[in-house]
């Protein structure tokens, strides 16, 4: 799998943060997320809009019992305009970042972050505190390639966590979170560096992530670590 292109990046998301099932409907891929969040429960356009049938994707969402959501990628402006005209709400504008694994600092303190699988109870607790519930944690277990969670520590206290998985030569970090009392103490940076080290040891040459465009603090960290903006997308959802 290659990244650095929009197509490769979306394939990487599907491989490292996989839906429970993928359904083709009217020229769209509709993901069955089983409650695991927007990335795994949205529809994406796979053909020119003139050849697509959005109603089929909507019907598929409803048959799955999940809210109707579309992922709007670069080049899908016509779909975006069509859904906006239908009253679909825009939400979660997101940015794509990527950097070579060798670009990350290698000299983090010993045991500041360490990889493991399956997640320790304290790692699951940190995820749950940030709203990464059992359904989202179930997404992690579906990844088919090398995968782990990383526990970040501040002194002798559990301070943050993340999930990272590989698909070929690319790795992606998901669900990065730091407990509020440990923010701005370097915990997230240590987790990122350990994720890059672990990814490199498992055959990856680059680390990718998605961040909400509104999360300016995280974006500043990623750019300080040398990550480069690759693209952007957002979602449209039906308002009930």
For the chain, the farthest-separated pair of C-alpha atoms sits apart, in whole angstroms, at: 58
- Token output for 18: 């996989």
Q: What is the mean pLDDT of the chain?
A: 96
Render pLDDT for 27-65 as a digit per residue (tens, 0 to 9): 999 999 999 999 999 999 999 999 999 999 999 999 999
> What is the rounded CA–CA span in Å between residue 19 and residue 35?
10
Domain 98-232: which CATH number of 3.30.360.10, 3.40.640.10, 3.40.630.30, 3.20.20.70:
3.40.630.30
> What is the rounded CA–CA span in Å between residue 207 and residue 99?
6
Strand, helix or coil at 69? Answer: strand
The percent of residues in the chain predicted with pLDDT above 90, rounded, is 95
Regarding predicted confidence, which is higher, 6 or 232?
232
- Token output for 79: 């779909």
Q: Do the Cβ atoms of 30 and 3 come closer than 8 Å?
A: no
* pLDDT of the residue at 240: 80
Render pLDDT for 16-32 as a digit per residue (tens, 0 to 9): 999 999 999 999 999 99
pLDDT interval class at 69 (50, 70, 90) = very high
- Token output for 91: 């939400």
Q: How far, CA to CA in Å, does 33 sit from each of 79, 125, 168, 230? A: 22, 22, 23, 25
Q: How far, CA to CA in Å, does 198 sit from each of 58, 133, 163? A: 40, 24, 11
> What is the rounded CA–CA span in Å between residue 203 and residue 146?
9
* pLDDT of the residue at 1: 45
Give the Cα-Cα-Cα angle 195, 130, 150 (nearest 5 degrees).
20
**pLDDT for 196 beyond 90:** yes
Q: Do the Cβ atoms of 149 and 115 come closer than 8 Å?
A: yes
* pLDDT of the residue at 7: 54
Q: How far, CA to CA in Å, does 181 sit from each of 1, 138, 157, 184, 186? A: 38, 27, 11, 9, 12
Residue matched to tokens 């003139």: 50
The whole-number average pLDDT for the span 183-198 is: 97
pLDDT interval class at 4 (50, 70, 90) = low
Q: Do the Cβ atoms of 239 and 84 come closer than 8 Å?
A: no
For residue 66, give the nearest of 37, 44, 92, 27 by alpha carbon. 37
In 10 A of CB 89, how many CB atoms? 12
The whole-number average pLDDT for the span 156-174 is: 97
Peptide bond into 79 cis (omega under 30): no
> Where in the chain are the domains?
19-94, 98-232
Q: Do the Cβ atoms of 29 and 22 come closer than 8 Å?
A: yes
Render pLDDT for 91-141 as a digit per residue (tens, 0 to 9): 999 999 999 999 999 899 999 999 999 999 999 999 999 999 999 999 999
* pTM value > 0.85: yes
């Amino acid at each position: 799998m290659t990244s650095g292109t929009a197509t490769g990046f979306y394939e990487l998301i599907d491989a490292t943060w996989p839906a429970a099932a993928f359904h083709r409907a009217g020229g769209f891929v509709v993901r069955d997320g089983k409650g695991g969040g927007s990335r795994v429960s949205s529809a994406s356009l796979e053909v020119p809009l003139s050849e697509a049938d959005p109603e089929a994707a909507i019907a598929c969402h409803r048959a799955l019992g999940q809210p109707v959501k579309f992922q709007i990628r670069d080049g899908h402006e016509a779909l975006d305009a069509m859904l906006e005209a239908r009253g679909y709400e825009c939400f979660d504008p997101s940015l794509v970042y990527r950097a070579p694994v060798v670009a990350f600092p290698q000299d983090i303190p010993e045991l500041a972050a360490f990889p493991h699988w399956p997640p320790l109870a304290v790692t699951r607790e940190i995820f749950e505190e940030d709203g990464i519930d059992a359904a989202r944690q179930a997404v992690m277990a579906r990844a088919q390639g090398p995968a782990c969670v990383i526990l970040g520590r501040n002194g002798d206290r559990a301070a943050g966590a993340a999930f990272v998985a590989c698909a070929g030569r690319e790795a992606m970090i998901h669900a990065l979170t730091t407990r509020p009392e440990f923010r701005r103490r370097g915990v997230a940076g240590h987790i990122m560096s350990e994720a890059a080290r672990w990814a490199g040891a498992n055959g990856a040459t680059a680390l990718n992530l998605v961040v909400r465009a509104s999360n300016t603090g995280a974006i500043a960290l990623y750019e300080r670590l040398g990550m480069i903006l690759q693209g952007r997308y957002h979602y449209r959802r039906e308002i009930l």
